[in-house]
Amino acid sequence: MGAGAVGGYFGARLVQAGRDVDFLVRPARAALLREHGLRLRGLDGSVEAVPVTAVTADALTPGYDLVVLAVKSYGFDSAVADAAPAVGPGTAVLPFLNGMRHMDALVDRFGADRVYGGVAMVQTSLGEEGEIVEVSPMSELIYGPVSDSPVVPLSAVHAALDTGTFTATAAKDAVQELWDKWVFLATLGACTCLMRSPVGRINSARGGRDFSRAVFEEAAAVAAASGHPIRSEVRERSDRVVGSADSAATTSLYRDMTGGNPVEADHVIGDLIVRGRSLGVPTPLFALADLHLRVYEAGRP
């Protein structure tokens, strides 16, 4: 589900590896994919068109082995409704969204034994003509079941995704992987959106490093109170990026905001605040970032 910067990229790589993949998209997007294929622009600027199979929601039937959800969070509810007819008794549902709200919704809808947790590590964007633009060579999917008795075993999901066209990692604790990424991404998103700058420029300013560290500690405190304290190696890696004065790192949240597009504020920032409040963990800097993004959304046409 989704043929954008994330779903389109990984889906195309799976097709290139010979996997049987259908792209569930809207009718207009389906027509374009059928005519032109899914176009990828590599780091060297070259463009390749990958022939793909595009389907629309009205044509779905049960029987898929794996349903991958790769959409923006603000399109999540409609995406689940569209993809639901593809989910049968032996289907695994694997989302690649940020945060945790979507995991709760999927477990409620399909049951924990059908749901996997997934983390996508990739830097891609959509070009002006709908092509998927590779920004860096990083491309990895991390995934694992949330149940001890999944209807589709991890070995089968891993065999389907481990094609050699990107890094595929079967996780022992997918929920921890989700929290680790969420803390890092929410921190980077809150910092760059509030200050309207890449993280390196923030840290170069007087007081900037103290600010970015404080934002990280708020997110880490919510994770710890939720039973998923951030692992030491993740904290060290986050500190190298979020605390760097040389990094040009931003997030899709920042890029969407500066580009005038809808943002995933509720899923990435707002839900962290809600969980912190329910656990008695104060998040004043995240609350400020959330307000900033809400004001931005209110000003969009």
Q: How far is CA 290 from CA 98, 147, 193, in A?
A: 16, 32, 10
Whole-number Å distance between alpha carbons of 104 and 253: 22
Whether 44 contacts 69, CB under 8 Å: no
Tell me the CA end-to-end span of the chain in Å, nearest whole number: 27
Q: Letter for the amino acid at 3?
A: A
Whether the pLDDT of residue 14 is over 90: the answer is: yes
CB within 8 Å of 293: residues ≥ 6 apart: 193, 253, 257, 263, 265, 269
Closest CA to 184 of 231, 147, 151, 140: 231
Query: Residue 194 — very low, low, confident or very high, per pLDDT cuts 50/70/90?
Result: very high
**What pLDDT, on the 0 to 100 scale, is given for residue 227?**
97
Q: Which domains does the chain have, with CATH numbers?
A: 7-172 (3.40.50.720), 177-299 (1.10.1040.10)
**What pLDDT, on the 0 to 100 scale, is given for residue 130?**
80
Q: pLDDT tens digit string along 268-285? A: 999 999 999 999 999 999
Whether 212 contacts 243, CB under 8 Å: yes
Rounded average pLDDT over 234-255: 91
Closest CA to 38 of 55, 28, 29, 50: 50
Lowest mean pLDDT among 35-44, 143-152, 182-191, 276-285: 35-44
- Residue 258's Cβ-count burial label (10 Å; 0-12, 13-18, 19+) is middle
